[in-house]
Amino acid sequence: MLNNFFIIFLILIAFTKFALSNEPADIWSLEKKENSEENVVIENTTNEFENKKIQINAGITDDIKVSEENFTDKNDLVVGIYDPGKYGFELDMWTKSDGKKIYELKKKINSMNLSEDASEIYKKILLTNTFPPKNNLDKKKFFDLKAEWLIKNEDLGLIIDYVTKNLNIISNENLIKFVLNEYLSKAEIKEACSLFKKLNQSFSDNYLKNFSIYCLIHSKQNDLAMMRFDLEKESGYSDPFFEKKFNSLMGLSKDDNTSSDKNLLNLHLSFNTIKDFKYVPTKKTSKLFWTYLRSNNLLDSTSDIDIADEEKISLLEKATHERNYNEKDLLNIYKKFQFSVDQLLNIEREKEDLSNIKARALMYQGILLNDDPNKVTKLSKDLKSSFTNDGLEDAFKDELRYILEEFDKSELSSDLTDFYVLNSKVENPNKKIKYNNKILHQSKIINYFIQEKPSKKKTEKDLNNFLKKIKKSKKNYLITKDVIVIESLKFDGIEINEEYNDLYTINENTMPIDIQVLINDGEIGLAMLRIIEIIGEDELKNLGSETLYFLVNALNQMDIDLIRNEILSEILPVRV
């Protein structure tokens, strides 16, 4: 009986093995060798988020619709790019704070036009790998705020890095769609389609399904495209417009003349399947569509624009202001207007009797006809004011700089120099540091905050020698920026002799009470958000000394040295 049992057991094992070996292959995992760089193979990656359903804005705006994802309740869910130790943060920098306060403050900051300095610090806070808040905030909302800022920031490389590093943790279909649309709008189809291969996953959103199938057709993988399309249809997928375009692109039906601007992919499919396709933008046309039309030469040539159609020119002015139409093309339209010699000789008087568009055309022609620096600059100033008064200040920005750079400031009268400085040269970020060893915060001691591996011993010696000179001389004194340097060095363990302690006093009242409380309670993330809020739209170099002191003091207390050093490297040196 025992022998019979083992025989039956072996037969069962053999049968099971045979059955498994005949398991049907997963069609999503089919792979093909690449014949060119454009071959795109879409595979399905199974993970714990496979069944997430995400609602994404498929319209022509850049708005994000909150996803319907159901996140795991695991406490170790970490989403980001940067190692927290890189900038002096901790994994639990949010866990001690009220999630509602974090959400409200992040939402406020996301709506602000942060300065470049504030945005750079915020990026490091937002994209550091950390645990989400434990209390009073759904994890989905916490991660949605990251996506919202990434889209507003428009850094495609950063978005792709964020998405690929968190594929197995959280779905980011809204971010993926944003990147695809940006590539498509610039006619970079190859780059858009290569993203699917890099992500190597299936999608729940129809827009991304359509895009991935289109990429298979684009890379001449029609068999795989057909297989993919059929599988989607069998699973209940339905998109009548895309189905018509699919059949047309696959050669299964005659060219279809149906067009759609529901989303950018639909517009692209319309362009590729309709002979002599033409699309007329309006004032409601999104930036994304304008970029697509420009990239694919679908905008009217300046030579085809009727200058009598001021409504059309007004549309182009608005598009130029929004950086969707080329400044040079707009100015070339102004050159087509016909003016009398008297009008060109008396621009200041004549422009008052003209419409705003004709007045701008007259002023621009006056700029072209003059070579006197003061006349050209005065006309440029008036033209800029005309744009600004109509809410179109960015329509005359780059070309204005090129015009002004033809002259030197010394050639202009005093009433025009401020305008010239404000609108001409872009500051060179690679200026060298000019040291002044008579002033502490401009001396070579500040190299401690700039160099990658500074010598503490040398810095300590140089600092005490400097303070010794201050002590002996009645002419020398310390200002707030000097105190910032000394206090930061002391926080890093650099000692100064006790005899120099009375050289300056510390104003303890510069720190906002709420930030000090957050630091004392270990709520580092929330404290950093308050700092970002305070910097706001201001560049660091434009902040007052007391504000700078409290910012650096707060970073010292939180032991966030790297960000502190970056701030000090920005505000202390004189660069020429």
Q: Are 228 and 246 in contact (CB under 8 A)?
A: no
pLDDT band at 64 (very low <50, low <70, confident <90, very high): very low
Tell me the two tokens of residue 63.
């708005």
Return the pLDDT at 256.
73
Position 37 confidence tier, pLDDT thresholds 50, 70, 90: very low
Answer whether residue 31 shows pLDDT above 80.
Answer: no
CA dihedral sign, ordered 9, 10, 11, 14: positive
Residues 6+ apart with CB under 8 A from 54: 67, 68, 69, 171, 173, 174, 204, 205
Q: pLDDT at residue 397 above 60?
A: yes
Model pLDDT, residue 1: 44
Tell me the average pLDDT of the chain.
84
Kindly tell me if the per-residue pLDDT of 179 is higher than 80. yes
- DSSP per residue, 52-75: -------SSS-PPPPP-------T
- Confidence at residue 76, expressed as pLDDT on a 0 to 100 scale: 58
* Alpha helix ranges (H) inside 154-273: 156-165, 173-185, 189-199, 206-218, 222-234, 240-249, 264-273
pLDDT of 75-107, one tens digit each? 458 888 999 988 889 999 999 999 999 999 999
pLDDT band, very low/low/confident/very high, at 426 (cuts 50, 70, 90): low
Q: Which residue has the higher pLDDT, 439 or 427?
A: 439
Q: Among residues 494, 497, 483, which one has the least CA distance to residue 456?
A: 494
Residue with the bigger pLDDT between 121 and 73: it is 121
pLDDT band at 271 (very low <50, low <70, confident <90, very high): very high
**What is the model's pTM?**
0.77
Question: Is residue 34 scored above 50 in pLDDT?
Answer: no
Percent of the chain with pLDDT over 90: 62
Architecture of domain 84-266: Alpha Horseshoe (1.25)
Question: Where in the chain are the domains?
Answer: 84-266, 302-423, 433-575
Q: At what angle do helices 206-218 and 222-234 cross, to 10 degrees?
A: 160
DSSP string, 435-480: --TTSGGGSGGGHHHHSSS--HHHHHHHHHHHHHHHHH-SS----H
pLDDT band at residue 137 using 50, 70 and 90 as cut-offs? confident
pLDDT at position 122 over 60: yes
Cβ-based burial of 17 (10 A; exposed 0-12, middle 13-18, buried ≥19): exposed
Distance of alpha carbon 310 from alpha carbon 358, whole angstroms: 9
Distance between CA atoms of 574 and 576, rounded to whole angstroms? 7
Q: Which residue has the higher pLDDT, 7 or 565?
A: 565
pLDDT (tens digit per residue) in 199-232: 877 888 999 999 999 999 999 999 999 999 999 9
Judged by average pLDDT, the poorest of 120-124, 182-186, 506-510 is 506-510
- Give the helix, strand, coil percentages of the chain, each rounded to 5: 60, 0, 40
Tell me the β-bridge partners of 434: 574
pLDDT in tens, 286-333: 999 999 999 999 988 888 899 999 999 999 999 999 888 999 999 999
Q: Lowest-confidence range among 253-262, 305-314, 445-454?
A: 253-262
Task: Note the pLDDT tens digit of each residue in 489-525.
Answer: 999 999 999 888 888 888 777 889 999 999 999 999 9
pLDDT of residue 43: 38
| pLDDT number for residue 193 | 94
CA max distance for the chain = 120
Q: Is the pLDDT of residue 386 over 90?
A: yes
